[in-house]
Amino acid sequence: DWHAEAVRRWGVACQATNWKVFVESRLSTPPPVSPLDFLQEWYAVDSWRLLSCCILMSRVSSWLTKTTAIANFFQKYPTPTSFALETEHENVYQAIRSLGLFDDRLASLIALTDHFLRGAPLPNGSRDDCFQLSTERNSPYKIRGVGPFSVDSYKLFCKDDFHMTLSDGGKPLINFQNWRRKFAAGAVI
């Protein structure tokens, strides 16, 4: 059953009325692994992990710092439920302190996790079981700290949407998108 699948993947804190929509909209369909070794590729099999990774790696240039802190975070919080049930911010801080900007990252991770586990809060007070993202400021699908780079990464790496127009325009994502298009056309292995 769909509810059991949601709990198996993301933990007991999942809330929905339509469990099929809830699960299917959160499932990842990652692209083939590229030779480009993007950090997003490491986490593309799970949408929450990919988006958490984007929040954590934002504004950090050191590869070692990013990879170590992100690995620490996911070792401590392997599912969104395990993160949502954390009551001590100090424990989160210990996992990701080397990244800096702790208060902003924590607020973004909390917002993402709530949106992922419970759905987007709609104006009528209900929640949307279908997981969607937006960069539009007034949209119920806009998540704090999840900007164009994160949304584009989600679409490319979790939904394999390589035909989309990138909103971020970052060169690394353009490079991946170009590789993916060539791969789909059979021009690269």
Tell me how far apart the alpha carbons of residues 152 and 85 are, in angstroms, rounded to a whole number.
Answer: 28
Q: How confident is the model at residue 76 (pLDDT cuts 50, 70, 90)?
A: very high
Average pLDDT over residues 40-44: 96
Three-state SS string over the chain comes to CHHHHHHHHHCCCCCCCCHHHHHHHHCCCCCCCCCCCCHHHHHCCCHHHHHHHHHHHCCCCCHHHHHHHHHHHHHHCCCHHHHHCCCCHHHHHHHHHHHCCHHHHHHHHHHHHHHHHHCEECCCCCEECCCCCECCCCCCCECCCCCHHHHHHHHHHHCCCCCCCCCCCCHHHHHHHHHHHHHHCCCCC
- Name the token pair of 153: 């990464």
Q: Are 140 and 124 in contact (CB under 8 A)?
A: no
In one-letter notation, the amino acid at residue 33 is: V
- Name the token pair of 126: 């209900």
Q: Which of 29-38, 98-107, 155-164, 168-177 has the lowest mean pLDDT?
A: 168-177
Q: What is the pLDDT of residues 131-189, one digit of tens each?
A: 999 999 999 999 999 999 999 999 999 999 999 999 876 788 999 999 999 999 998 76
Tell me how far apart the alpha carbons of residues 69 and 138 are, in angstroms, rounded to a whole number.
Answer: 32
Distance set, CA 78 to CA 67, 126, 132, 167 (Å): 15, 28, 22, 29
Q: What is the pTM of this model?
A: 0.95
Q: Which distant-in-sequence residues (6+ apart) come within 8 Å of 185 by Cβ?
A: none
- Name the token pair of 111: 């917002």
Residue 16 in this model has a pLDDT that exceeds 90: yes
Predicted pLDDT of residue 169:
64
In one-letter notation, the amino acid at residue 68 is: T
